[in-house]
Chains A and B, each alone.
Chain A
Amino acid sequence: MPAPQTPPATPPARAPLLDVANLSVSFASDRGRVKAIDDVSFTVQEGEILSIVGESGSGKTVTLLSLLGLNDPRTTFVDGSVLFRGQRILEMSDRQMRRIRGKDIGLISQDPMTALTPVYTIGWQIVEQIRAHERIAKAAARKRAIDLLAEVGFANPAEAVDRYPHQLSGGMRQRALIALALSCNPALLVADEPTTALDVTVQAQVLDLLLRLRDDFGSAIILITHDMGVVSEVADRVHVMYAGRIVERGTTDAVFADPQHPYTWGLLASIPPLHGARQARLRSIPGLPPTADGIPAGCGFAPRCRFAFDACAARPPDRRGDSHSAMCFLDPSDRERLRSEMLERERPA
């Protein structure tokens, strides 16, 4: 079994493991630059699970790829600063970045069906990663791959290590991917919708696995998802993303108990209730999210927001310091009333 992560020498004053400040990402398109991520900031502490929620196209994956430097540099422009253990990683050369990728920051991809190279065994792929970062004999690396596979719940890891991806089920491939991401004991795991492609029972197993790994290995996890159920299950803190901005941030308990942004209200209202009469239709948020080139200058959600008023044409203040805050002009004292009004009015027939 890989030794649990020894806590790295903590920098003074509990600096966060990852500190993303004013991150903006834009793409080159036919009509000039299009901003996909607009001034996003967040931090991740050691051993913490931060969840970033939002619908497709809200910029979750782009954010995460920029952290790893995996965007295509020819078409993508990244601004802002990302500090990982106090080092500015956006400015790093590719060679320096490669030492961090896979070793200190592990990626768990969204679709386990396509995320493994089809022509190699999973053992080979894990060994490849270990040996890319550590001077270690093949046999020893293979032994560690078997241990890792056992760790992520393969019943017969010594046999599974020689399996090809196509010989494994979706859940098993996702576990293999997690083993791959964990193979160098990363301090930070970025998981891009790790449960989306899986069926519900396997989803629950994979989430349990992530929680257990956090406890065993002490890795911090950024969990990208659009599934509020997943968030409530595992995350310590939640950031809600909409149209390339973080519109609400707070601890999971606070956001679920007292959501502040009308978009979050809509997201939470769309979760089907477990009790009571079955709804004929699930609640939804009317309208569509804007495409990257059509995001309004002011509040991105204003066109779909029933409470929008004049002030929303300007950019709402982003109160980053607070433990729970929303990018919204609504008066905090009015929110409770407006939300219950919305829930009442939209109660499905």
Chain B
Amino acid sequence: MLTAIIQRLAQMVFVMFGISALVFLIFFATPGADPAARIAGRNAAQETVEAIRHDFGFDRPLPVQYGIMMKRLFISRDLTSFVNRGLQVVPQVLAAAPITLSLVCGAAVLWVVGGIAVGVLAALTRDTIIDKALMMLALIGVSMPVFWFGEMMNLVSQSRFHDTWLFSWVPGLGYKSLWTDPWGWFKTLVIPWFTLAALYIGIYGRVLRANLVEAYQEDFIRTARAKGLSPARVMVRHALRVSLIPFVTMFGLDFGVLVGGAALLTEVVFGLNGVGRLTYQALLSLDLPMILATVMYASFFVVVTNALVDMLYVLIDPRVRKS
């Protein structure tokens, strides 16, 4: 078990090395573009460009450039972005990360619970009006653009009905720290959580229903029913338990990508300065150090959640365990 975990960690490091090298090559070694000039920003003085060129080692061979970049990103953590008036990159990412994590983790709880509830209820009431209504709702959730839904939620909760008893508790847009103001943190995030989760509840509910309906055709469900178990037990302990395996795979992928910055639209709509927004702004101004930092951050979470999913597999599916 321990060797498996160590092996997995080594793999993660290797994958992250690959990603960092690739991103570095794309942004810093593209022929015909001078990275020093880009880092210096528009209208930079010639001396600044020269200083950056020397500082980042752009006058030295590529592996050295890569080494310097990684050292400044991970070891001395003083990689600065000149586009952004000399702000250091790492503290910005570290400040944005808790916001994105809060948003995505809360939404993840909602969508896992909601997705399982929708999927199980629809599968139990298959082909009835309840099933059809749930699937219709899920389809609406999937097809609603998140920025539109978010703005609608804002319109309702921040302006139209803000003065009624329904939404008077909703604070203004923006993020409140969990550590200094937990209740405020919760209140500001409830609506963003729900907005982000709506799409995923739809997807997960529909996929889970399909998996459950398929599971009910399986012989082992017939065996379970022939054993005289209650319908609830057949559903939860047999059908749902087996259907959770693809569910976990999907969750790992979606969660990693969202924490990595894919929740951009939700962040923008609700004024949350998370990693998605940071990446977006860095891309707009071609802020190379910032892009490098956010991409490394995103890949870190994708790789970590994938590793966690693999470990979860070992727990929930005995077939992947080595004898």
User: Residues on A close to B: CB < 8 A?
Assistant: 68, 70, 74, 94, 98-103, 106-107, 109-111, 114-119, 121, 128-129, 132-133, 164, 166-167, 177, 180
> What 1/0 mask marks residues of chain B from 203 to 231 whose CB sits below 8 Å from any chain A CB?
00000000000000011101111111111
Return B142 CB to nearest CB of chain A, in Å.
27
A98 to B230 alpha-carbon distance, docked (Å)? 7
> Are A128 and B227 neighbours in the complex by a CB distance under 8 Å?
yes
Known: A107-B226, A116-B223, A166-B319. 9 other contacts (CB 8 A): A98-B230, A103-B228, A107-B222, A107-B223, A111-B219, A117-B220, A118-B242, A119-B241, A167-B323
B317 neighbours in A (Cβ, 8 Å): 118-119
A45 to B225 alpha-carbon distance, docked (Å)? 25
> What 1/0 mask marks residues of chain B from 230 to 266 whose CB sits below 8 Å from any chain A CB?
1101000110011000000000000000000000000
The residue from B218, B228, B238 contacting A132, defined by CB atoms under 8 A apart: B228
A54 to B222 alpha-carbon distance, docked (Å)? 22
B221 nearest CB neighbor, chain A only? A117
> Are B228 and A114 neighbours in the complex by a CB distance under 8 Å?
no
Known: A109-B222, A117-B223, A119-B241. A132 touches B229 (CB 8 A): yes
A70 to B224 alpha-carbon distance, docked (Å)? 11
Instruction: Verify if B140 is at the interface (C-beta below 8 Å from A).
Output: no
The residue from B220, B224, B225, B228 contacting A133, defined by CB atoms under 8 A apart: B228
Known: A100-B228, A101-B228, A129-B228. A109 touches B223 (CB 8 A): yes
Q: How many residues of B contact A (CB 8 A)?
A: 24
A-B contact pairs, 29 of them (CB 8 A): A68-B226, A70-B222, A70-B225, A94-B231, A98-B230, A101-B227, A101-B228, A102-B227, A102-B228, A107-B226, A109-B223, A109-B226, A110-B219, A114-B219, A114-B220, A115-B219, A115-B223, A117-B223, A117-B224, A117-B242, A118-B317, A119-B316, A129-B229, A132-B227, A132-B233, A164-B318, A167-B323, A177-B223, A180-B227
Ranked 3 nearest A-B pairs via Cβ: A102-B228, A107-B226, A101-B228
A173 to B293 alpha-carbon distance, docked (Å)? 53
A299 to B220 alpha-carbon distance, docked (Å)? 37
B218 neighbours in A (Cβ, 8 Å): 114
The residue from B127, B226, B241, B318 contacting A101, defined by CB atoms under 8 A apart: B226
Return A305 CB to nearest CB of chain B, in Å.
35
A101 neighbours in B (Cβ, 8 Å): 225-228
A199 to B318 alpha-carbon distance, docked (Å)? 26
> What 1/0 mask marks residues of chain B from 296 to 323 whose CB sits below 8 Å from any chain A CB?
0000000000000000000011110001
Return A149 CB to nearest CB of chain B, in Å.
16
A166 to B317 alpha-carbon distance, docked (Å)? 11
A177 to B230 alpha-carbon distance, docked (Å)? 19
B223 neighbours in A (Cβ, 8 Å): 107, 109, 115-117, 177, 180
A163 to B55 alpha-carbon distance, docked (Å)? 62
A87 to B318 alpha-carbon distance, docked (Å)? 42
Known: A103-B228, A132-B227. A115 touches B222 (CB 8 A): yes
Return A187 CB to nearest CB of chain B, in Å.
14
A129 neighbours in B (Cβ, 8 Å): 227-229
A107 to B224 alpha-carbon distance, docked (Å)? 10
A68 neighbours in B (Cβ, 8 Å): 226
A285 to B228 alpha-carbon distance, docked (Å)? 40
> Are A70 and B242 neighbours in the complex by a CB distance under 8 Å?
no
The residue from A94, A100, A119, A133 contacting B242, defined by CB atoms under 8 A apart: A119
B229 nearest CB neighbor, chain A only? A132
